[in-house]
Amino acid sequence: MKVAMIGTGYVGLVTGTCFAATGNNVICVDVAEQKIENLKKGIIPIYEPGLEQMVKSAQQRGNLKFTTDIKEALKESDICFIAVGTPMGEDGSADLQYVMNAAREIGQYMIHDMYIVDKSTVPVGTGDKVKAVIQEELDKRGSDLKFDVISNPEFLKEGNACQDFMHPDRVVIGSENAKSIEVMQELYEPFIRSSEFFVTMDIKSAELTKYAANAMLATKISFINEIANISERVGADINKVRRGIASDSRIGYSFLNPGCGYGGSCFPKDVKALIKTSKEHDYEPELLSSVENVNSRQKMVLVHSITEVLGEDLSDKKIAIWGLAFKPGTDDMREAPSIRLIEELKQRGAKVQAYDPQAMNMAKSFYLKDVEVEYINNKYDALNDVDALVIVTEWKEFQSPDFMEIAARMKGNDIFDGRNIYKAKTVKSHGLNYYQIGVRK
């Protein structure tokens, strides 16, 4: 099939590349010229396991192209995906300007009938707006071309996006047009294990499904973080409580890891946008607002723990940070708990030495650009002379470190773990103090 992908961010690039991997002809379009030039040379703008190899293979086969020219992309395709960003606007709602621009351009430049698929995460009702704008542009030029707008939310996890795309838990299609559903079924056929994983519904339900999925996962995280905070105060151990509840198959283990708050491009933004949508429809979403508040508070939990042990004034302290990315497997730092943590530590006068396997450039150039942090290229070197180590992202290489080396390098002996990745007994046996989330000090 012939597919155009508007937007070469995480979602667009992964989706386009995976469709090319199953033999479709894909043309990806983006306004960012440098990005497109780089992609043409096989240079990927993000760190995502497996993606670079997949892009290069498809380019060699000749069925994945990159362009800044939307007219060319529309000419060469029958299905056009909109996969542009929907960043958080000032008031917490999703900013739809990029989606609507894409729709307008489609209406202006399409030259044959098309299927328009919205993959961007958009508030309920956006499908209708996209449809109206395309129609308006067609009318302006007196065209009677036909199109159908389909909603197809994405459920990719950063760091595992290609795998998630190739082996989805489900594919959700919002459309009540039989032909559109058939086309989508054909496109997704190679990825679908059985028909029950191909879920079709109306557009609004598909749009809400995406927000509901992310809100549910965010709720699980804020729930376990709340129980962790209670646990710490009453003298229980959240690691044990977690096992105790998660072993009930109705509850399950996934997304019940306590931590220093969820981050990333989706949960914070989507929970806020869903709250906004609910309020616009005269419904006060108390549970979702609490999910959001608990998370915001959770980003301070490590700071409180550190100041409780080391004191409010950290001006004579040097602190090592392991992990800057919002989660392992990515260089993404959007809404990462590390940002707030480091800013708070700096405000209290601490010196900060940080190490992350992938995200140090991101931190330096964007997210912590104005904050004085020493970036160290090796996890053990980052520990030289520090009073404390703080673990913020649970990268694999932090999971079973040489504790003798850690103890030898550090000046102090306090480890604050924002992800509860060690056995307390093991850490303590090396003369180190170990402070976890949800376990009394």
The yes or no reply on residue 155 touching ligand UDX (CB under 6 A) is: yes
User: Which residues make Cβ contacts (< 8 Å) with residue 402, sequence separation at least 6?
Assistant: 380
Please identify, using beta-carbon distances, which residue of 19 and 326 lies nearer to ligand UDX: 326
Task: Pick one of 118, 158, 226, 387: the residue that binds ligand UDX (CB under 6 A).
Answer: 158
Please identify, using beta-carbon distances, which residue of 153 and 401 lies nearer to ligand UDX: 153
Give residue number: closest CB to ligand UDX. 266
Residues 294-353 close enough to bind ligand UDX by CB under 6 A: 326-327
Alpha carbon distances (Å) from 43 to 20, 36, 252: 17, 9, 39
| Choices 36-44, 55-63, 149-157, 271-279 (CB under 6 A): range interacting with ligand UDX | 149-157
Please identify, using beta-carbon distances, which residue of 256 and 391 lies nearer to ligand UDX: 256
Please identify, using beta-carbon distances, which residue of 303 and 432 lies nearer to ligand UDX: 303
3-state secondary structure (DSSP) of residue 19: helix
Q: How far apart are CB 15 and ligand UDX at their closest, in Å?
A: 12
Catalytic residue among 28, 80, 260, 266: 266
Q: How far apart are CB 373 and ligand UDX at their closest, in Å?
A: 20
Q: What is the dihedral of CA 266, 69, 72, 128, to 10 degrees?
A: 40
3-state secondary structure (DSSP) of residue 424: helix
Residue in 47, 7, 1 with CA at minimum distance from that of residue 26: 1
Contact 389, 406 (CB under 8 A): yes
The yes or no reply on residue 81 touching ligand UDX (CB under 6 A) is: no
Q: How far apart are CB 238 and ligand UDX at their closest, in Å?
A: 12
What span, in angstroms and rounded, lies between the C-alpha atoms of 352 and 334?
Answer: 20
Q: What's the token pair of residue 299? A: 């980003």
Please identify, using beta-carbon distances, which residue of 70 and 221 lies nearer to ligand UDX: 221
Please identify, using beta-carbon distances, which residue of 11 and 388 lies nearer to ligand UDX: 11
The yes or no reply on residue 438 touching ligand UDX (CB under 6 A) is: no
The yes or no reply on residue 16 touching ligand UDX (CB under 6 A) is: no
Handedness of CA 108, 114, 115, 120 (dihedral sign): negative
The yes or no reply on residue 156 touching ligand UDX (CB under 6 A) is: yes
Using CB atoms within 10 A of its CB, is residue 418 exposed (0-12), middle (13-18) or buried (19+)?
A: buried
DSSP structure class, residue 397: G
The yes or no reply on residue 157 touching ligand UDX (CB under 6 A) is: yes
User: Which residues make Cβ contacts (< 8 Å) with residue 139, sequence separation at least 6?
Assistant: none
Please identify, using beta-carbon distances, which residue of 73 and 218 lies nearer to ligand UDX: 218
Q: What's the token pair of residue 130? A: 């996209």
Letters for 123-142 (x = contact with ligand UDX by CB under 6 A, - = none) are --------------------
The yes or no reply on residue 417 touching ligand UDX (CB under 6 A) is: no
Axis crossing angle, helix 203-234 with helix 286-298, rounded to the nearest 10: 50
Axis crossing angle, helix 10-21 with helix 51-61, rounded to the nearest 10: 50
Contact 217, 257 (CB under 8 A): no
Q: How far apart are CB 127 and ligand UDX at their closest, in Å?
A: 18
Q: How many residues bind ligand UDX (CB under 6 A)?
A: 19
The yes or no reply on residue 3 touching ligand UDX (CB under 6 A) is: no
3-state secondary structure (DSSP) of residue 20: helix
Residue 6: CA count within 13 A, CB half-sphere: 27
Q: How far apart are CB 158 and ligand UDX at their closest, in Å?
A: 4
Axis crossing angle, helix 267-280 with helix 203-234, rounded to the nearest 10: 110
| Choices 152-160, 244-252, 316-324, 402-410 (CB under 6 A): range interacting with ligand UDX | 152-160
| Choices 1-9, 150-158, 309-317, 377-385 (CB under 6 A): range interacting with ligand UDX | 150-158
Residues 228-267 close enough to bind ligand UDX by CB under 6 A: 255-257, 259, 262-264, 266-267
The yes or no reply on residue 358 touching ligand UDX (CB under 6 A) is: no
Contact 19, 189 (CB under 8 A): no
User: Which residues make Cβ contacts (< 8 Å) with residue 250, sequence separation at least 6?
Assistant: none
Q: Is 266 a catalytic residue?
A: yes
The yes or no reply on residue 271 touching ligand UDX (CB under 6 A) is: no
The residues that bridge with 151 in the sheet, in sequence order, are 118, 174
The yes or no reply on residue 147 touching ligand UDX (CB under 6 A) is: no
Query: Which amino acid is located at 140 in the chain?
Result: K
First to last CA, the chain: 59
DSSP structure class, residue 427: H
The yes or no reply on residue 395 touching ligand UDX (CB under 6 A) is: no
Q: How far apart are CB 72 and ligand UDX at their closest, in Å?
A: 29
The yes or no reply on residue 109 touching ligand UDX (CB under 6 A) is: no
- Chain residues that interact with ligand UDX, rule: CB under 6 A: 154-158, 214, 217, 221, 255-257, 259, 262-264, 266-267, 326-327
Q: Which residues are catalytic?
A: 266
